[in-house]
Amino acid sequence: MKQIPVKTLEIIWLTAAILAALAGLHKTYFHGFASSYQFFIIFLLSLLMYLNRRNLRKSK
């Protein structure tokens, strides 16, 4: 099985972060923050993973 290139993983994490942020904003607007905070946690984790992958790739 081929390994996924590092740049592709960066794009996946960034896409996940953007989608989670959009979903969180949408749910907050219609249902309030109490039912949408999970999306913001996922957003932060995805963004941290993106930044971690990016820094690892640039340091090599």
SS3 content of the chain, % helix, strand, coil (to 5): 85, 0, 15
In angstroms, the CA 45 to CA 36 distance is 15
pLDDT confidence tier of residue 57, bands split at 50, 70 and 90: confident
| 50 contact partners, CB below 8 Å, separation of at least 6 | 10, 13, 14, 17
One-letter identity of residue 43: F
The pLDDT of residue 3 is above 80:
no
pLDDT confidence tier of residue 6, bands split at 50, 70 and 90: confident
pLDDT confidence tier of residue 4, bands split at 50, 70 and 90: confident
Average pLDDT, the chain: 93
Tokens of 46: 């995805």
Read off the pLDDT of each residue in 14-27 and give the average, rounded to a whole number.
98
CB 37 within 8 A of CB 21: no
